[in-house]
Amino acid sequence: MENLYDLSLGDVRKVFEELGEPGYRADQLWQGLYQKGWTRADQFSTLPRSLRDRLGQKYVIGCLRQERVLISSDGLTRKYLYRLPDGSAIETVLMEYSQRQTACISSQVGCAMGCSFCATGNMGLSRNLSRGEIVEQVLKSALTIKEGGKELTNVVLMGMGEPFHNYEEVLSAIRTLNDPGGFGMGMRRFTISTVGLVPGIRRFAAERTQINLAISLHAADDELRSSIVPINKKYPLSALMDACDHYLGETNRRITIEWALIEGLNDTPDQARKLALLLEGKLFHVNLIQLNPVEHYQGRPAGDRSAAEFQNILLEAGIPCTIRLRRGIDILAGCGQLASQPQR
């Protein structure tokens, strides 16, 4: 059976046209899915029962089965394991802050990028997620937040997978969630994080959307970056920075640089100075995060002193830089810790 979340509004209208139903029925279904959050055919009271029965014979509403939820010791971060119909699984993280509530969404089962410190990359890639599987993670997160009397404010595609390796489905999912007649989440509330797929960045620049772009850099010279982020061998820093320059020229939107600080490796003053030269005079913001531990990687997180020194070098060079608060480490919900395995 086909998943209704995999359909665009145009697809839904075509379905109703083929069923001989008036066009407004498609809007009623769309509103039920994305405004009211209905997940069962019998909830669609705006549709005739005979139509609900016909739709129920061909379509399902969602396919993610929640298998486990872990809550961090501070109660502010939750990690969900969802089982997919083919038996594979993904993880989604929900983080609550004083002014915002953020869902960290997966775009693939596993990841092909193989970044050395990342648990997801250590899995390898099983498959891409569909538009509907991406959309449903957001809807489930929004429902959870709503039950607590709040609203989901931000969605970051920083979970399992490389979003630009699944470009079509990721952008289709965001467009579905952005639709003002449905879920209506503004484009500026979405952030796509890429490890640096140059063709994806250039293609994304042509979209000229207000979706935020983040790049996982982690090193400021090719030798070191290739040892941490293998895709750098295909798209070295010169090509990556050219793509960033193109994006900035097309959109005039700031790019966030993500940098996992690893003790004695990329947390040095030398790397900070090289990064400052790389970003000098351009519209970038650097987010530093001390490495989150994973089983397969022996590197250690940078200490507070070296993190502060790294940040100060960038700030003195005129480059905005923040040190991110690490969240959900005790439940392996931090950046680089997601993997569709039983709790390790």
What pLDDT shows up at residue 343? 41
Is pLDDT of 251 > 60? yes
Angle, in degrees to the nearest 10, between helices 167-178 and 131-147: 40
Residues with a known catalytic role: 91, 335
The CB-side HSE value for 83 (13 A sphere, CA atoms) comes to 8
Mean pLDDT confidence for 255-268: 97
Is pLDDT of 60 > 90? yes
Q: Which helix (H) or strand (E) holds 213?
A: strand 212-216
Tokens of 77: 């971060």
pLDDT in tens, 321-341: 999 888 888 898 888 888 876
Query: Given 3-state DSSP classes, what are the helix, strand and coil percentages for the chain, each rounded to the nearest 5?
Result: 40, 20, 40
Pick the CATH number of 2-60 from 1.10.150.530, 3.40.50.720, 1.10.3720.10, 3.40.50.300: 1.10.150.530
Is pLDDT of 283 > 50? yes
Query: Would you say 266 and 226 are in contact if contact means Cβ atoms under 8 Å apart?
Result: no
Tell me what the pLDDT averaged over the chain comes to. Answer: 95
Closest CA to 284 of 328, 320, 233: 320
DSSP labels for 220-260?
SSHHHHHHH-GGGGTS-HHHHHHHHHHHHHHH---EEEEEE
Q: How many CB atoms lie within 10 A of CB 249?
A: 9
- Model pTM above 0.85: yes
Closest CA to 261 of 338, 324, 192, 331: 324
Q: Which SS3 state, helix, strand or coil, does residue 338 take?
A: coil
What pLDDT shows up at residue 98? 82
Domain residue ranges of the chain, discontinuous segments joined by +? 2-60, 65-331
Q: Lowest-confidence range among 33-37, 42-46, 313-317?
A: 42-46
State the CATH class of domain 65-331. Answer: alpha beta
What pLDDT shows up at residue 41? 86
